[in-house]
Amino acid sequence: MRLLTLNIWNYTPPWPARRSLIVETILAHDPDVVALQETRHDFRFERGRSQGQQIADLTGRQLIEATAQVYWPWPRVDEGLTILTTTPPEETAVVRLRRLSGEKADENRRILLAASIRCAGRLVWIGNTHFSLSSAARQANAGEIVHFAHEHPGPLAIMGDLNAEPNSCALQVLQNEGLVDVWDAVGAGNGFTYASSQPVRRIDYILLRDLVAQRMLLVGNEDMDGVYPSDHCGILADVTFPGDSLS
């Protein structure tokens, strides 16, 4: 199973050019599941059709999306998460993550969007999330991801922009529950994902439970005429069930 996660940087211009590069990346690597963060509905673009829907239509994927933060209820402007799959999901779930009152850096609503898909006859839960800019909120939300993991045993992949570096408390919470960072498992180099033009931090992740990373790479780290797909690099990983090998 091939997984891809990418924060698409909402409608930051030039969106049509960046959309084309995102679509080209998906079609070139053909992942089974794509987790996208910062996807928006915005009445000023595409008649309000979501960015997730646009990318799904252009790549022929199944669309799963959920709103996290509403900026304007009408005309509609909101931001959330998108999961794209090559086959219909068996089940979906949305978990609204807690906001910490009084935390200035935790102003936006955060969620976990999850879907179960069938791979080689087995169900795998895929979670997509985008953590807060607040360190305290990230740690709290990591605990909520752990709670979701406890309620959904078996193979699990958590993907997304965690806004946290590998030695952070939030990552420790997740890894202490047995979620394995694919970069630690099979990555090479520093794995920096932000910013795509001059990467200096690793804040995007694919974390696995009861799945084995076989190989991974960064995508979206090359520009086309000065334009990058996003301000983040994406992470692409090939994973298998324990004991299996890539075909």
The amino acid at 164: A
Report the pLDDT value the prediction gives residue 211, as an integer from 0 to 100: 98
Each of the 247 residues of the chain gets a pLDDT tens digit; together they read 999 999 999 999 999 999 999 999 999 999 999 999 999 999 999 999 999 999 999 999 999 999 999 999 999 999 999 999 999 999 999 999 999 988 889 989 999 999 999 998 999 999 999 999 999 999 999 999 999 999 999 999 999 999 999 999 999 999 999 999 999 999 988 999 999 999 999 999 999 999 999 999 999 999 999 999 999 999 999 999 998 876 5
CATH number reported for the structural domain that contains residue 121 in this entry: 3.60.10.10
Residue 203 is given by DSSP the state: -
Asked if the structure places residue 245 within a domain, the reply is no
Report the pLDDT value the prediction gives residue 247, as an integer from 0 to 100: 57
Please state, as a whole number, how many other Cβ atoms lie within 10 Å of the Cβ of residue 67: 18
Total structural domains in the chain?
A: 1
- Best CA proximity match to 100, nearest among 53, 139, 137, 63: 137
Asked if the structure places residue 16 within a domain, the reply is yes
Asked if the structure places residue 76 within a domain, the reply is yes
Q: Please give the sequence-ordered ranges of beta strands (E in DSSP) within 47-178, or none if there are none.
A: 62-72, 77-85, 91-97, 110-119, 122-130, 156-161
Asked if the structure places residue 246 within a domain, the reply is no
Asked if the structure places residue 209 within a domain, the reply is yes
Domain containing residue 203: 2-240
CA 48 to mean position of chain CA atoms: 22
Report the pLDDT value the prediction gives residue 102, as an integer from 0 to 100: 85
Asked if the structure places residue 135 within a domain, the reply is yes
Q: 246 and 240 in contact (C-beta within 8 Å)?
A: yes
Report the pLDDT value the prediction gives residue 214, as an integer from 0 to 100: 97
Rounded-to-integer distance, Cα 38 and Cα 80, Å: 6
Q: Which helix (H) or strand (E) holds 97?
A: strand 91-97
Three-state SS at 225: coil
Asked if the structure places residue 42 within a domain, the reply is yes
Residue 214 is given by DSSP the state: E
- Best CA proximity match to 235, nearest among 2, 1, 6: 6
Asked if the structure places residue 24 within a domain, the reply is yes
